[in-house]
Structure 1
Amino acid sequence: MHVANFNENSDGRLFYSFANKLNAGFIKNNHIIETISDRSFLKLNRSLINPFNENKKFNEKILNTLKNFSPNLILIGHVFNIEKNVFDYCKKNNIKICSWYIDSISKEFLNKDKKRKFMYNLQYVDNYFITSSPKIFKRNKYFKKIKFIPNPVDSSIDNLKNFENEDFNFDIFSAISHGQNRGILKKGKFDEREKFIKQLIFNLPEIKFASFGMDNFEPIWGANYYYYLSKSKMALNISRGSYQNLYSSDRISSLIGNGMLVFMNKKTKFEKLFTNKEVVFYKNQKDLIDKIKYYSLNNKIRIKFAKSAYKKYHNHMNNMIITNYILKCVELNNSKNPFWHNKT
């Protein structure tokens, strides 16, 4: 059973979301899934007279679904209003409980309120899966519950192989946003990545950029996002906030997973997962500029690196392996540990 935001109100704009890829992974591994979309349910049951009533109904729905569906596992996304009696029911009936969290855990994003919510779920779950190194929580008494998982690829969704193409409209793809659920830019909001990207564009006049989410170009989503991926031979993977050990937005899976050569800052420490012959790591903007120039002119090496990274991602970080790992951690299967286990 999976309780998360499944973006029904996005009209298919986020069909490749983390939650949807996990669902597909479980199904490909021959499991059945019952889903509850928290945001959709709460919106439909919103009460102006008694705002607490909608949360009560939400928890009643979860309990009733648990009783009717009787799952082996309840998996919780960014949902932090599940009441203690629901967790108690799961414990009493031997239903394993896991959560996932894919936002940045840097201080500017995991603020006091978000940390309180994060810790609330952490005390009740059997395992908490995050797309960053758990080491930041090393002194927390629940540290052993927190485990790293990469952002998954799905072979049905991430089905481009740009390293096989020869004709591209763009050299570099870069896309930023002010939040995927919002979908559009916030007026007056400045993203620190904009300045960095603008300087790149200024210093690389010979390079064609497909750049979205800045300068009044709205972020791109859905099939339009994959269209521009298909037209770009390389990509810049850059996330908001201070660099965190092994953190990236979930965009990384669609960039590497669709066969582009990807540039990442060394501070992300993704060299634990990819070699410098799979992903291009840069130290600073000058280093990045030099490397973009080099690889834009050396197609054989670009293709070789992009293909190697693509194969590693699809062979070792796909949604079937990741969902099997989630089940293994709560002793619901005995699959092998993936290669990224204990590399954090």
Structure 2
Amino acid sequence: MKIVHVANYNYLKDGQSYYATDYKIHQGLVRNGHFVYPFSYRDTARCANIFGSKKWGVGKTNKRLIETCRNIRPDLLLMAHAELITLETLREIRKMLPSIKIAMWFVDPLWLNHHITNINSKLPALDLFFATTGGELLRQFKLPDNRVAYIPNIVDASIESHKNYEREDLPIDFLFCGRDHKEPIRQAFLSTLSEQLSGLNTRFAGCLGNPLIFGHNYTDTLGKAKTGLSYNRRNDVSLYMSDRIAQLTGNGILTFTPRIPSMEILYTEDEVVYFDNIKDLITKATHFISADDEGREIAYRGWKKTHNSFNNIRVTRFIVETIFNQAYSEPYEWRNELY
């Protein structure tokens, strides 16, 4: 079928985030046989005025989305965050194309007010809302006329292409990439961790005063890591994980993660290394970095689970089958997180 995918894409950043979920979903839909038209809504807004301002380009962006749908006549309008797209625009598109399905996917935290406001502003026009968060925070967006569903973080074999579990020459013992700006508790956790692991070859990017890394520099760094940490802004939210979990396990890196509620639906104890607190993490990190064979075996099983279960072909197939109310072609592990 024909799909218009309203996503970030970041064309104006020259491939800096080519591994973003936008591209993985796009590629997954294409590999499932669909025509997918990329509508880069933020870039469209910036290019709509001489100042490169998203705010001043909102009106033209919404008009161009309507015209895009008029020209393509898609079966599905799929949006990612799409904070610049208005409810009025979605209603105009549905009026123009009565049989169209409209859905939205979301990978950012669902407890932040500006995200909640954005999602709620579009809910009356949505058939389905998908998020990488489960439980009550997902169910808050259920309305009588729509459905909400969980999706896991996604890998693409052409992006997460390293197999670090096969290598014995990895120069980075422990890797964490993520921001700590204006997050004192998170910063204190990472600072203590850095100090306690100072005897190892660690790499902290985007935090503790270190710059963020992007593009090939980021994926190349992943390809050099023996172990890595998946640590979220909140670790008490059902099934919520940042896309680091997919990037780490998907590259065959032994991954440490806190015991996030319901996460065992996705990963078992022999596919990732769970920890209960920072002391437990330090103990397990020190052990597995030394016990190389044991760690690489867990890393392999985590890599296999991620690429078998959470690849973009399988997850986008779930998205399409859910939107169009089709019988599931296989028993997706997260299928019960549908409301």
Work out whether 1:165 is the aligned partner of 2:128.
no
1:215 to 186, 194, 208: 208
1:205 pairs with one of 181, 191, 198: 198
Match status 1:118 vs 2:119: yes
State the alpha-carbon separation in 1 of the partners of residues 253 and 168 from structure 2: 12
Provide the residue aligned with 1:142 in structure 2: 143
Identity in percent = 30
Q: CA deviation at 1:33?
A: 0.8
Report the CA distance between 1:87 and its aligned residue: 2.8
Say if 1:52 and 1:278 are closer, same or farther in 2 by CA, change over 3 A.
Answer: closer
**CA distance 1:85–1:170, shift in 2 (3 Å):** closer
Deviation of 1:327 (Å): 0.6
Would the alpha carbon gap of residues 312 and 51 (structure 1) be closer, same or farther in structure 2, given more than 3 Å must change?
A: closer
Contact 1:163 1:260 in 2 (8 A): yes
What TM-score do the two structures reach when normalised by structure 2?
0.90
5+ unaligned residues in a row in structure 1: which ranges? Answer: 179-185
Instruction: Assess, with a 3 A threshold, how the Cα gap between structure 1 residues 123 and 249 changes in structure 2: closer, same or farther.
Output: same
Q: Which runs of 4+ in 1 moved over 4 A?
A: 50-53
The CA deviation at 1:316 is: 0.9
The letter for the 1-side match of 2:151 is I
- Report deviation, 1:161: 0.3
Which of 39, 61, 77 aligns to 1:36? It is 39
1:176-195 superposed matches below 5 A = 176-177=178-179, 189-190=182-183, 192-195=185-188
**Residues 281-332 of structure 1, C-alpha deviation per residue, up to 9 Å, x if partnerless?**
1110111111111111212221111111111110111000111111101227
What SS class does the counterpart of residue 252 from structure 1 fall into? helix
Shift of 1:139: 5.7
The 2-side partners of 1:34 and 1:51 are apart by: 21
Contact 2:75 2:100 in 1 (8 A): yes
- Write the mapping of 1:215-294 to structure 2, written as runs, cut at 5 A: 215-241=208-234, 243-294=236-287
C-alpha displacement at 1:53, in angstroms? 7.1
- 57, 72, 94: which one aligns with 1:90: 94
> Does the 8 Å CA contact 2:175/2:203 hold for their aligned counterparts?
yes
Whole-angstrom CA distance in 1 between matches of 2:150 and 2:326: 18
Give CA-to-partner distance per residue, 1:126-152, whole Å, 9 cap, x none. Answer: 100000104324365528611100111
SS at match of 1:103: coil
1:57 offset after TM fit, Å? 1.9
- Paired amino acid for 1:222: G
What amino acid is the match of 2:104? S
Contact kept in structure 1, 2:7 and 2:79, CA below 8 Å: yes
Query: In structure 1, how many angstroms separate the alpha carbons of the residues matched to 2:228 and 2:55?
Result: 45
Match of 1:19 among 3, 19, 22: 22
Amino acid across the alignment from 1:125: L
User: After superposition, what is the alpha-carbon deviation per residue over 1:212-258, rounded to whole angstroms, capped at 9, x for unaligned?
Assistant: 11233201111111111111110011122453111111122110100
Q: Counterparts of 1:343 and 1:85 in 2: how far apart (Å)? A: 29
- Once residues 94 and 332 of structure 1 are traced to their aligned partners in structure 2, the CA distance between those partners, rounded to angstroms, is 14
Are the equivalent residues in 1 in contact too, given 2:120–2:141 (CA < 8 A)? no
Deviations 1:80-101 (A, max 9, x none): 3324243343264311111011
For residues 67 and 332 of structure 1, the distance between their equivalents in structure 2, rounded to whole angstroms, comes to 25
Q: Indicate conservation of the 8 Å contact 1:131/1:246, yes or no.
A: yes
- Tell me whether 143-152 or 287-296 shows the greater mean CA deviation: 143-152
CA contact (8 A) 1:210 1:228 kept: no
Which 10-residue stretch deviates more, 199-208 or 71-80?
199-208
1: CA distance, partners of 2:193 / 2:56: 51
Q: Within 5 Å, which residues of 2 pair with 1:52-71?
A: 54-71=57-74
Q: Which moved more, 1:207-216 or 1:251-260?
A: 207-216
Distance in 2 (CA, whole Å) between partners of 1:55 and 1:44 is 11
**Aligned letter for 1:171?**
D
- Output the CA distance in 2 between the equivalents of 1:277 and 1:321: 23
| Unaligned segments of structure 2, at least 5 residues | none
Distance 1:137 1:323, change over 3 A: closer
SS in 2 for 1:267: coil
